[in-house]
Amino acid sequence: MVIYSLTFYLFSSVAVLSALMVISAKNPVHSVLFLILSFVNASGLFVLLGAEFLAMILVVVYVGAVAVLFLFVVMMLDINFVKLREGFLQYLPFGALLGIVLVVELGILFLTDRSSNIYNNQTPLQPIVNEVENTKMIGQILYTEYFYLFQICGIILLVAMIGSITLTLRDKGGVKRQNIDSQNTVDASTAIEKKKVKIGEGI
């Protein structure tokens, strides 16, 4: 159990510190890299809770795909560090307000009597020791009880995908594209044309 608590403190402290670095790093690329570190440590915490499926999904989806594209975009930006500093005071009141609201909400959540809320039947944050793998448990509940919500999520994602494709897809014209099928069907009779060239005239 000593190793268990040591790993817990390792993951949680690195997660919190890297989350802090996300907002305080000067270079935006460093911020994204710290965000990734924070994700990975959060997934480590999920593993310690016994939610290994969630942990792996977090790594595959957020770290392996979303953050890669995010990093991709941030690297391509031409960032002017001086301009980045300029707006700081202008945005400070609004940012501080958002932060205070979040802290107050978290505080209310901590101070309220837990026994009276809707989750009172569950003991919070304990590894569930069960014969059934938790991947199977998620599947069993997702496709039965939450079936409609699950389908609605799928439709929302589909709409977002089609929307982003229509925003970026435009036919500029004059773009040379390779048609693989027509290339594969080429043979000597269609590709080569024999001509008799008159001397001194050309084609």
Partner 1 sequence: MDFFNELLVPGSIIVAQILAVVVPVLISVAFLVYAERKVLALIQLRRGPNIVGPFGILQSFADALKLLTKENIIPSGSNKIVFIIAPIITMVLSLAGWAVIPFAPGWVVSDINVGIMYLFAVSSLGVYGVIMAGWASNSQYPFLGALRSAAQMVSYEVSIGLVIITVLLCVGSLNLSKIVLAQQTVWFAIPLLPMFVIFFISALAETNRLPFDLPEDESTLVAGFFTEYSSASFVLFFLGEYASMILMSSMTVILFLGGWLPPFDIYPLNAIPGVIWFTVKVIFILFLFIWVRGTLPRYRYDQLMRLGWKVFLPFSLFWVVVTSGFLVYFDLLPN
Rank residues 81 and 94 by Cβ distance to partner 1 and give the closer one: 81
CB of 156 to partner 1, least distance (A): 20
Which of residues 95 and 127 has its CB atom nearest to partner 1 in the complex? Answer: 127
Judged by beta carbon, residue 79 or residue 92, the one nearer partner 1 is 79
CB of residue 60 vs partner 1: minimum separation in angstroms?
A: 5
How many Å apart are CA 111 and CA 117, to the nearest integer? 12
Q: Which is nearer to partner 1, 81 or 91 (CB)?
A: 81
Q: Which is nearer to partner 1, 27 or 151 (CB)?
A: 27
Binding interface with partner 1 (CB under 8 A): 1-3, 27, 29-30, 33, 36, 52-53, 55-57, 59-60, 63-65, 68-69, 71-72, 75-76, 133-135, 178, 180
Look at the alpha carbons of 100, 102, 105, 111 in this order and tell me if their dihedral is positive or negative: negative
- Report, in Å, the least distance between residue 195 CB and partner 1: 31
Task: In angstroms, give the least distance from the CB of 56 to partner 1.
Answer: 4
Q: Tell me if 52 sits within 8 A of 134, measured CB to CB.
A: yes
Least separation in angstroms between residue 181's CB and partner 1 is 11
